[in-house]
């Protein structure tokens, strides 16, 4: 009867212990950073000599002297709205105290720093990894044929696709409006042509009516002349 509660207690302790270990913090970042610096090909010597101080020799710069940590920062990773598998980013800011100021401001020094200050926390592996490993992981994620590839494509080319679609929509809309305007102009021209034909027809009818009126006038004049001659003839006979 006592075995079951004991097993449950041990299981709970192991789960809690695992969650604590999986949480990224300043101590785990410093431990991973020390291991990372010591493992780099250019590191010839890396020994702790005090609180946040190390004896450091590097063949890439080159440099041989004291390295002092001036700041440690752990913050949640920015994933741009999609899951990367990395929950936190860690930064260890340090200074090579015996390096001349002119060398500290050189491009070579800044390039040298890129792989020595920042680490990324992998949730799947529950450990800090260097920038090179992080970049390879993200690149493999984009090239794996999953939705990350489509997301990367949309992030890079989405705005251009949107602009092209907008331009096509504008051209189609303008084309439709132009076609409608041309149709209205054609209808207006047809109406004008019909009105002109009606006017021409009315003018033709008016000319015909005027000709008939002139003909009636002439006939009336002839009738009046005949009537006058008849009246004169009758007047002479009566005398």
Residues 165, 125 share a domain: no
The model's confidence at residue 4, banded by pLDDT at 50, 70 and 90, is very low
Both 15 and 56 in a single domain?
Answer: yes
Within a domain: 149: no
Share of the chain above pLDDT 70, in %: 81
Q: Are residues 119 and 218 in the same domain?
A: no
> 65 in a domain, yes or no?
yes
Going by C-beta distance under 8 Å and a sequence separation of 6 or more, which residues neighbour residue 34? 46, 48
Q: Which of 50-59, 61-70, 84-93, 156-165 has the lowest mean pLDDT?
A: 156-165
Range of weakest confidence among 7-21, 129-143, 201-215 = 7-21
Q: Which of 86, 120, 144 is the last residue of a domain?
A: 144
Q: Is the pLDDT of residue 149 over 80?
A: no
- Residues 120, 162 within the same domain: no
Let me know if residue 150 belongs to a domain: no
Number of domains in the chain: 2
Q: What is the pLDDT of residues 97-125, one digit of tens each?
A: 999 999 999 999 999 998 899 999 999 89
- In the chain, DSSP assigns E strands to 43-50, 53-58, 63-76, 86-96, 118-122, 127-130
Segments forming the whole domain that contains residue 126: 3-144
- Distance in angstroms (rounded) separating the CA atoms of residues 11 and 34: 32
* pTM of the predicted model over 0.85: no
Are 148 and 141 in contact by the 8 Å Cβ rule? The answer is yes
* Predicted confidence (pLDDT) at residue 11 exceeds the cutoff of 80: no
Domain match, 133 and 230 both: no
| Domain annotation covers residue 128 | yes
Looking at the structure, tell me whether residues 183 and 84 fall in a common domain. no
Instruction: Specify if 151 maps to a domain.
Output: no
Q: Is residue 21 predicted with pLDDT exceeding 60?
A: no
**Residue linked to tokens 């696709």:** 161
Confidence of residue 153 (pLDDT cuts 50, 70, 90): low
Same domain, yes or no: 18 and 65: yes
pLDDT score at 63: 96
Final residue in a domain of this structure, among 144, 174, 201: 144
- Where does a domain end: 123, 144, 165? 144
Query: Residues 231, 160: one domain?
Result: yes
């Amino acid at each position: 009867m006592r075995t079951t509660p004991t097993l449950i207690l041990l299981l709970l302790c192991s789960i809690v212990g695992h969650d604590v270990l999986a949480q990224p913090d300043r101590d785990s970042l410093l431990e991973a950073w020390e291991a990372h610096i010591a493992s780099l090909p250019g590191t010839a010597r890396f020994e702790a000599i005090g609180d946040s101080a190390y004896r450091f020799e590097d063949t890439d710069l080159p440099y041989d002297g004291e390295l002092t940590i001036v700041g440690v920062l752990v913050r949640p990773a920015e994933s741009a709205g999609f899951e990367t598998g990395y929950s936190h980013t860690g930064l260890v800011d340090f200074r090579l105290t015996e390096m001349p100021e002119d060398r500290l401001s050189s491009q070579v020094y800044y390039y040298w720093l890129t792989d020595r200050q920042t680490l990324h926390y992998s949730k799947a592996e529950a450990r800090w990894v260097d920038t090179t490993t992080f970049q390879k992981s993200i690149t493999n994620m984009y090239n794996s044929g999953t939705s990350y590839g489509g997301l990367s494509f949309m992030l890079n080319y989405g705005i251009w696709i949107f602009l092209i679609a907008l331009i096509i929509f504008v051209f189609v809309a303008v084309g439709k409006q132009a076609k409608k305007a041309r149709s209205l102009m054609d209808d207006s021209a047809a109406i004008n042509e019909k009105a002109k034909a009606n006017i021409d027809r009315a003018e033709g009818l008016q000319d015909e009516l005027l000709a008939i009126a002139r003909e009636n006038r002439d006939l009336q004049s002839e009738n009046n002349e005949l009537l006058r001659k008849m009246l004169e003839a009758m007047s002479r006979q009566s005398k």
